[in-house]
Amino acid sequence: MERRHFLGAGTSYALAALALPDLDAVTRRSRAAADGGVHVGQGEVLAIRQMTAVLGDAASELGGGHARHLAVRYLTQDVASWLDGRYSETTGRELFAATSQLVHLAGWMAGNEGNQGLAQRYYAHSYRLAAETGDPELAATALRGMAVQAIDLGHRAAAVRLSEECVHFASSVQDPRAVAYYQATLANAAALDGDRRTATAALAASESAIEKAPKTPGESWAAHYSQGRWAHETGMILARLGDLDAAEDHLHHALAIHGLDRRRTRAIVLADLGQVQLRRHRTDAALATWSDFLDTAEGIRSVKVAEATASIRARLHHLHHIPAAADLARRATPWR
């Protein structure tokens, strides 16, 4: 499904996903499992978690376009048979939770590759699996995925609704990184909607939470939300609110923090920083930052990196009289 179809029908689909499934589904499935189904235990649950970690690491480094087919193949050829297998209720809940994470990763990969409609359906399925197993953090993270899609596509009302539900679902979550993750999403959606008061309050809540986060990530599904990623997202929210000075400070902070080590992530921060610098009329700084972006982005297959490259090319067109800008324009070839 292309973006135009998402805009036409996808928002209602995303909001429809908020309807809770039958919360006794895991119990029912464990009791009704076919006698001939494969026996599933902790080994299979651990395998899903390990595969999710490995595939997620590859996608974070190189973009979702590199490994999504591997995740989908693993889901359809291995995990599907385990979901239809024989397992205890306890194992079933852990199996559903692990599968929810893998399905969410497949959704992120699809969106990162540019297929937003498919990504949304993966997120919705991840949400339902998480809701069935009773895991509020996994459910909130899946809702966040749909909220970020709505933000990126400019669907303001849906973005606010989904991000509010995300925060609501996570009200019992204690992990500070997770709380910061979801509150920042609400701040971003509110800023897009022009609701400065809500955006500022959510951003303050996010900052308070991330300051309490331990230096070493825990087992939380949102444990990857580091100080560096928070600084990047906060910088872009501040830019949306018009505070360009603070936005640039936060983006520099994001680049300086140890832990922002994924090439794809670093490339996107560099692209965003250059945009803010150009808006502040710091042209030489923007050109230098974009040169670093192009060096970092080489070989990455990510729709966000491709869109950032196209955006940079468009802005360089107006700076063609500057030799450094003309050189960058020749180097900036979007990934297709």
Would you write out the chain's pLDDT as a tens digit for each of its 336 residues? 333 343 334 444 444 544 434 444 545 555 555 555 789 999 999 999 999 988 888 877 777 677 788 888 898 888 988 988 888 989 989 999 999 999 999 998 888 888 888 888 889 889 988 888 888 999 999 999 999 999 988 999 999 999 999 999 889 988 999 999 999 999 999 999 999 999 999 999 999 999 998 877 766 777 778 889 999 999 999 999 999 999 999 999 999 885 556 788 899 999 999 999 999 999 999 999 999 999 998 888 788 888 999 999 999 988 988 999 999 998 887 654
Long-range contacts of 190-196 (CB under 8 A, 24+ apart): 190/160, 190/163, 191/237, 191/240, 191/241, 192/151, 192/154, 192/156, 192/159, 192/240, 193/156, 193/157, 193/159, 193/160, 195/160, 196/241
- Per domain, the residue ranges of the chain are 1-172, 173-239, 262-336
Considering the entire predicted model, what is its pTM?
Answer: 0.82
Provide the 3-class DSSP secondary structure of residue 39.
strand
CA torsion sign for 102, 106, 111, 117 is negative
Where does residue 72 rank: exposed (0-12), middle (13-18), buried (19+ CB within 10 A)? Answer: middle
Q: What tokens appear for 155 in the block?
A: 């669907």
CA angle 271, 274, 279 (to 5 degrees): 130
